[in-house]
Amino acid sequence: MKYVIVGGVAGGATAAARLRRLDEECEIILFEKGDHISYANCGLPYFIGDVISEKKSLLLQTPISFGNRYDVDVRVKNEVVDIDTENKTVNVKNLLNGKEYQEKFDKLILSPGAQPIIPPLVGIKSERIFTLRNVSDTDRIKLQAVTQFNQLKEVVVIGAGFIGLEMVENLHALGYHITVIEKARQVMPNVDSSIAAAVQKELKNHNVTLLLNHEVKSFETEADRIRIDVGKVQKIEADFVILSIGVKANTKLAEAAGLAIGQHGIQVNEYLQTSNSDIYALGDAIEFPHPLSGIPYCNFLAGPANRQARICADNLVLENKIKYNGSVATAIAKIFNLTVGSTGLSERYLQQHNIDYLTSITHPFSHATYYPGAKQMTIKINFSPESGQLLGAQVVGEEGVDKRLDLLASVVSRQGNIFDLIDIEHAYAPPYSSAKDPVAYAGYVAENILTKRVVPMQWHELKAILAQNNWQDEYFLLDVRSAMEVKNGMIEGAVNYPVDELREFVDDIPQDKKIIVYCAVGMRGYIASRILMQSGFNQVYNLSGGYKTYQLMKN
């Protein structure tokens, strides 16, 4: 059996290695149009920022070492330009000498990855504009931009997704002042606004300039600088620009070969087989139904690509025995002192696709507060109002975020519910967690909402209410924090009855109004809500995430 693989990064190289482990006798040819295979592309920003000092640390295998270990014919700087599905051949161009040749295959694996989105703007081809997708891009940024284009010590990063913000941190470490331009109204458009707000605050704390809800119009390059026109403000001058507005599936080769292409990428079945039974595809180039919504999408993450590669190789050798179940898109990033991550479906996605949901925001600590160094985090979960199925979760904080995100992702991926969060058995010792872990705590809060022991109100709902001129005719806003906390600020129009004294003031609270309760993060608000609901008040709402979330979001 002769296998030909197109693309030699995470997916293609993993598939080749797995094929060899399963079949010592087969012939494997791996084509990669770039200079490198099997490199750690997620580590590229950290090499630019000198966190990773040696480039060789990112090169997990060289073409020679990989070829020798797995007996694979590795051909870098060779681009597959055409597929003849009828004769089962690929046309290949040697990029070193320009010559083209053919290679036959029995089975073909496509792992061409994704390509950066580059809008057709005036000046976009400037030598001072860089994208970051591979090792060669990294070399250009490291050698050309950082060492040569540094007269002003100003950099503009266009796009505030995960990669863009990782670049912000690493360029900031080199001494640059960074301006971030983002078309959306928030950074990290794939997470919800209450999580993004914490990231925005962290960026501002590090003197990063944020131009949100701004769109680049054009570029103008002079001898020693580049000007970026964003329309709403004066033109911004910088040493160079990092363009990070996203990627799209590289489907050009598959489309030319007549393979079925979906709305986002190459269509594959559950065995990762394309519309041609002898051709399989994986990685960034494919679309696959989301396990929760059933809607096809592209998942530009290394973890799923590696899993797909293993499954794909198994199915080629074992003739379609293993199904790929999809990915819930679990992602994480370090942004200065914060870690932010998400899994499953965001609130924005749920709204766009008319999926009913409830949401909850909690602010637990990373470990027992009596043990030194506990850090507060934010956990936001979205869940079904009927079954309690966990639809998505997002976490941001300084410590313990990755651990909690992984636990949440495991429940989301197996389509578990909020009760599963409560039932997870956590490792507990004061330096690592609390007896009631933050994930369990999020589950308890969600259970109270689902069983209607408390009715949450979101920050944006309260903001809309307070914008009404006569809101106090219908609502009574109750602050149940301590008098000391209130001295440091409270929501205008609120009345303060501390929760420990609330029973003494029950008769002073109007029965004919809707009561909105809030505390610092929601816990005391829940206690106050239970007191009022069991004292004859029929319409009581607890502000989700409390004063902490409201203050972060109100502006």
Quick check: helix, strand or coil at residue 319? coil
Task: Please give the positions annotated as active site.
Answer: 42
Q: Evaluate whether 241 touches 221 at the Cβ level (below 8 Å).
A: no
Which of the 8 DSSP states describes residue 376?
B
State the amino acid at position 205 in one-letter form: N
What is the SS3 assignment for 493-539? Answer: CCEECCHHHHHHHHHHCCCCCEEEEECCCCHHHHHHHHHHHCCCCCC
Nearest to 275 by CA among 243, 307, 251: 251
State the amino acid at position 363 in one-letter form: H
Helix ranges, 129-223 (H): 135-139, 146-148, 162-173, 193-205
Instruction: Report how far residue 106's alpha carbon sits from residue 127's, in angstroms, rounded to the nearest whole number.
Output: 43
Instruction: Report how far residue 120's alpha carbon sits from residue 123's, in angstroms, rounded to the nearest whole number.
Output: 9
Give DSSP secondary structure letters for 101-130.
EEEE-SEEEE---EEE-----BTTT-TTEE
From residue 143, give the alpha-carbon distance in Å to each of 33, 136, 137, 148: 22, 10, 10, 7
**Both tokens assigned to 121:** 């703007």
**Both tokens assigned to 433:** 């967690």
Q: What is the dihedral of CA 279, 284, 285, 286, to 10 degrees?
A: 70
Say how many CA atoms lie within 13 Å of 531 toward its Cβ: 21
Q: Token match 């109750």: residue?
A: 478
- Which helix (H) or strand (E) segment holds residue 236: the answer is strand 236-238
Give DSSP secondary structure letters for 429-449.
-TTT--SS-HHHHHHHHHHHH
Q: Evaluate whether 415 touches 326 at the Cβ level (below 8 Å).
A: no
Q: What angle do CA 189, 38, 27 make, to 5 degrees?
A: 130
Q: Token match 């209410």: residue?
A: 465
